[in-house]
């Protein structure tokens, strides 16, 4: 039995091939997965769990069923919010039979304490994004947003996405990546030598020295061109 990690699928009705690839992935790991960790941005956007009970959320019901089936088969599913789906709430988590993770979580990964997270908080050089993130994560902003009619929420989500895309175009690539000092800071804070995250869409394994010890940061890939995952234990670790 193995432990699987994925992130940044950005599921959307405009990209049905990614949804199908995800369903194929779930079918393939069924019976061979002790746990599945979804580290954020499962969806391109999420405007509230109440969408599931409306025609606008109909396309997500099959996904809910597929994840619930995997959970019912014995696989433990864990979900961490990303910067696109931070409004996923307890209703959705309960419907798929998952557990909601804290923003930063340390797990025992076959004997190795490992910090897992979406990864956007590591990109501290992108000051504009961090300021926007701070606003969007406030309970008051979220409560006011979720109180709006679904149509207004969709319009606002589209507008926020357009603003984000426009601002990203003018930024240097290194600003959009993680800050190494922040990486080392948070690994010290949680006393770990291994970190797994997504968000940057730059899959790689980074080995470096931290306080005289060997440390590892593993970055998960997105699913735009092909399925991307990480699987443990180490003797069968596969990145695709």
- Provide the pLDDT confidence category of residue 161 given band limits of 50, 70 and 90: confident
Tens of pLDDT, residues 97-153: 999 999 999 999 999 999 999 999 999 999 999 999 999 999 999 999 999 999 999
Span 12-44, pLDDT tens digits: 999 999 999 999 999 999 999 999 999 999 999
The answer to whether residue 238 scores a pLDDT higher than 80 is no
Structural domains of the chain sorted by starting position, each given as residue range(s) with its CATH number in brackets: 2-239 (3.60.21.10)
pLDDT band, very low/low/confident/very high, at 235 (cuts 50, 70, 90)? low
Q: Per-residue confidence at 236, pLDDT binned at 50, 70, 90?
A: very low
Distance CA 114, CA 214 (A): 13
pTM for this prediction: 0.94
pLDDT in the model for residue 224? 96
What's the confidence (pLDDT) of residue 93?
98
Per-residue pLDDT tens digits for 166-219: 878 767 888 899 999 999 999 999 999 999 999 999 999 999 999 999 999 999
């Amino acid at each position: 039995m193995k432990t699987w990690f994925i992130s940044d699928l950005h599921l959307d009705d405009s990209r049905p091939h990614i949804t199908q690839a995800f369903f194929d992935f779930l079918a393939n790991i069924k019976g061979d997965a002790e746990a599945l960790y979804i580290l954020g941005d499962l969806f391109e956007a999420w405007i509230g769990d109440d969408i599931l009970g409306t025609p606008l959320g109909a396309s997500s019901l099959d996904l809910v069923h597929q994840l619930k089936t995997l959970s019912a088969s014995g696989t433990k599913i864990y979900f961490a919010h990303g910067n696109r789906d931070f409004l996923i709430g307890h209703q959705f988590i309960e419907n798929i039979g998952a557990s909601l993770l804290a923003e930063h979580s340390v797990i025992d990964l076959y004997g190795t304490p490992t910090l897992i997270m979406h990864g956007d908080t590591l990109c501290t050089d992108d000051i504009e994004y961090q300021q926007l993130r701070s606003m969007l994560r406030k309970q008051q902003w979220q409560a006011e947003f979720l109180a709006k009619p679904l149509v207004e929420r969709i319009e606002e989500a589209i507008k926020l996405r357009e603003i984000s895309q426009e601002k990203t175009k003018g930024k240097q690539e290194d600003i959009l990546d993680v800050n190494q000092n922040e990486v080392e800071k948070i690994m010290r804070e949680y006393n770990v030598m291994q970190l797994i995250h997504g968000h940057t869409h730059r899959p790689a394994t980074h080995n470096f020295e931290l306080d005289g010890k060997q440390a590892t940061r593993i970055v998960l890939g997105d699913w735009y061109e092909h399925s991307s995952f990480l699987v443990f234990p180490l003797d069968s670790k596969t990145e695709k």
